[in-house]
Amino acid sequence: MEFTPLDQIDKVHLELRSGFNSGKLKSLAYRKYQILQLGYLVQDNAERFNDALASDLGRPTLENNFLEIGPSIGDTKQAYQNVEKWTKPEKPAFSLNFTAMRPVVRKEPKGVVLIISPFNYPLWLTIGPVAGALAAGNAVAIKPSENTPAVSSLLAELVPKYLDQDLVRVVNGSIPETTKLLELQWDHILYTGSGRVGKIVAAAAAKHLTPVTLELGGKSPVVIDPNCDLETAARRILWGKVANAGQTCVAPDYILVPKDFQDTFADALKNTYDKFYPESAKPSVSGAYARLITPQAFTRVNALLKGTKGTVVFGGETDEATKYIQPTVVKDVQPDDTLMSEEIFGPILPIVPVKDIDEAIAFINARDHPLALYVFSSDNAVKAKVFDNTQSGAAIANEVLIHPGVDGLPFGGIGPSGSGYHTGKYTFDIFTHLRASMDSPSWVDKILAARYPPYTTKKVNAVRKLLFARLPARPSAPPPIGVASGKKRWGRWFLVATAIALASFLTKRSKALTGSS
C-alpha cells in the first residue's frame, strides 16, 4: 500500500476546504450525483472488493457480501433517495407566542469532515459514513485502516475515478499520517476503532473544539434465559461469534447463563458448531472462515485463550502462521479469568455461570456499559427486566450482530463504548449543523413592545401574562416508586381481538335474525 506523503496532507486539507467553499454541494442534484457515483464505485467493483477483503481478512465471500458489499450499496441508495427529505428545513412545534416570527431549523453542512475507518469492516464503515457526509453537503477526507492494505489501496485507486477530488480524498498511512491529520482542524471527526485510540482522537479534536463521534466497543454480554428457543439462540449467538472471526465491535463477547442450564446451552452450541462446520467445510480450510487481522492480534487473542482456567467445550486449535484460531467455547469461566479481562475481539466465547437473571444484571452493571446487550428469552417480562435495569448502546432480544444495519436504528455506544450515533439518517445528522432561523415582521413589536426600555410595572405584568406558562396542578405528594404514570393504553392485539369477537357476534346475530344456518 502506498502511503500519502506527510507533506501532502496539509495540501489535501486545504484543497478539500477550497472544494467545500466552492459551493458545489449546495446543489442537492450534485450531492445526489456524488452519492450515486459512490454506490457505483462499490457495485462496479464488487468482485475486486471481495478479493481485497478476502486478502486482508481471509473472510468468506458470503460474509463479504452480507456484511459489507451489500450494506455499502444499500447505504448509498438510502442516502440518494432521501437527500431532499433529510435536508428539508423543519418547523418547530407550534407556539402562539412565536409563530409570527416564522421560526425554522435549517439543515446545513458542517464543512470538511474526517472519517477514520477500522480494519474489521473497512468497506461498509467507510462507504456508509461518506454517503451520509455527502448527503449533508460536506467535503470528506477518508483515512482507511493500514491493517487492510488491499481494501485501502483499492479505495485510493477508485475514489479519484468516481468522485469529485475537490470534495472527497483518501489519505493512506499509519500512525504518522493519522497523527498529522489529527493536528488539522476539521468540522467533525467520525472515528471507529478501539477505546485507546478513541481517547487520542478525542484529545486531538478537543484542541480545535471539533465535535467527534466515537464508535468504540467493549465486552457485549449475552443473557440466556432457560425459557428461550434453545436451538435458535445457539445458532444466532455462535454465528455472531464466528462471523469475521469474532472481529466485530458488537459481537457477543461472553454469555451469562444460570448455572443449572450451562451444560444444556454449551451442548446446543456444540451441536450448532458441528452443523456449521461439517467435515467438508472445516473452519481451518482457507475461504471457509476468516482469520485474525495481524500477527499481533493473533498473539493477543491466543494469550487470552491459553490463560483461561475455564473448560474448553470445543475448539482451541490455533495456527500462528495463518493467524487461525478455531471457533472456541469455554464454560465455567470466572469473572477474574483472562477471557474476562478485556474485549476478546476474536472467535472465543466464554460462558460465565450465574445464579439467576438478577445476578446476570448485577454482573453487567458492575462493568463498563457495553456497545450491545443481548438477551435470549421467550418471556417478555425477563427481556424487560434486563433492559430496564441495565445500560448499553443497544438492547437486542433474540438476535445478534445485525442491528447496526437495520434502517432507522441508531448505532452507537454509551460511556466507554462510544459517544454519538451513526448509520443511515443518523450519519446525515452527525454531519449536519442545525441552524436556527427566524424572520420576524415589524408588526410583532405590537405584541412584544414590553421588551423595550423603559421597564415599567405595566410592562412587567404584560411579560408575565404573555410568557409565564401555566403549569399543571401542583402534586400533593410524590408518586409511589415503581408505579408508572399516565393513562393505561390497551395493546393493539387486545383491540384486534375485540374487533374479531365483535364481528363474530354480529355475524351470528345477523344469522339468527334472518333464520339462516
Catalytic residue among 177, 228, 249, 343: 249
- Dihedral angle computed from the Cα positions of residues 306, 312, 318 and 324, in that order, rounded to the nearest 10 degrees: -110
Q: pLDDT tens digits for 189-233?
A: 999 999 999 999 999 999 999 999 999 999 999 999 999 999 999
| Same domain assignment for residues 247 and 185 | no
Instruction: Determine whether 68 is an active site residue.
Output: no
Residue 165 one-letter amino acid: Q
Check whether 411 has a pLDDT greater than 80.
yes
Domain extent for 404: 221-412
| Same domain assignment for residues 442 and 428 | no
C-beta separation of 255 from 302 below 8 A: no
* Cα separation, 512 vs 156, whole angstroms: 78
* Cα separation, 290 vs 56, whole angstroms: 10
Q: What percent of the chain has pLDDT over 70?
A: 93
* Cα separation, 122 vs 57, whole angstroms: 10
The answer to whether residue 75 sits within a structural domain is: yes
The answer to whether residue 237 sits within a structural domain is: yes
- Domain with residue 396: its CATH number is 3.40.309.10
Instruction: Determine whether 249 is an active site residue.
Output: yes
- The closest of 133, 57, 77 to 345, measured between CA atoms, is 57
The answer to whether residue 484 sits within a structural domain is: no
The answer to whether residue 150 sits within a structural domain is: yes
The answer to whether residue 168 sits within a structural domain is: yes
Catalytic residue among 177, 215, 228, 343: 215
| Same domain assignment for residues 236 and 326 | yes
Which range has the worst mean pLDDT, 1-10, 31-40, 355-364, 444-453?
444-453
The confidence band for 125, taking pLDDT boundaries of 50, 70 and 90, is very high
- The closest of 219, 165, 188, 470 to 340, measured between CA atoms, is 219
Which range has the worst mean pLDDT, 2-6, 9-13, 146-150, 280-284?
280-284
Q: CA 503 from chain center: how many Å? A: 45
* Cα separation, 116 vs 73, whole angstroms: 19
Backbone angles phi and psi of 94, in degrees to 5:
-60, 130
| Same domain assignment for residues 328 and 454 | no
| Same domain assignment for residues 196 and 276 | no
- The closest of 153, 152, 149, 143 to 117, measured between CA atoms, is 143
Buried b (16+ CB within 10 A) or exposed e, 66-90: ebbbebbbbbbebbbeebeebbeee
- Domain with residue 42: its CATH number is 3.40.605.10
- The closest of 74, 34, 29 to 160, measured between CA atoms, is 34
| Same domain assignment for residues 93 and 211 | yes
The answer to whether residue 296 sits within a structural domain is: yes
Check whether 358 has a pLDDT greater than 60.
yes
| Same domain assignment for residues 397 and 463 | no
The answer to whether residue 60 sits within a structural domain is: yes
Q: pLDDT tens digits for 249-307?
A: 999 999 999 999 999 999 999 999 999 999 888 999 878 899 999 999 999 999 999 99
Of 360 and 286, the one with more pLDDT: 360
| Same domain assignment for residues 330 and 458 | no
| Same domain assignment for residues 227 and 211 | no
The answer to whether residue 491 sits within a structural domain is: no
DSSP 448-508: SGGGSSSP-HHHHHHHHHHH---PPPPPSSPPPTTPPPS-----HHHHHHHHHHHHHHHHH
3-state DSSP assignment of residue 262: helix
* Cα separation, 19 vs 34, whole angstroms: 13
| Same domain assignment for residues 448 and 389 | no
| Same domain assignment for residues 163 and 234 | no
| Same domain assignment for residues 268 and 195 | no
- Can you say whether the dihedral through the CA atoms of 168, 173, 175, 177 is positive or negative? negative
- Total domain count for the chain? 3
pLDDT at residue 369, as a whole number:
97
CA 362-267-253 angle, to 5 degrees, is 40
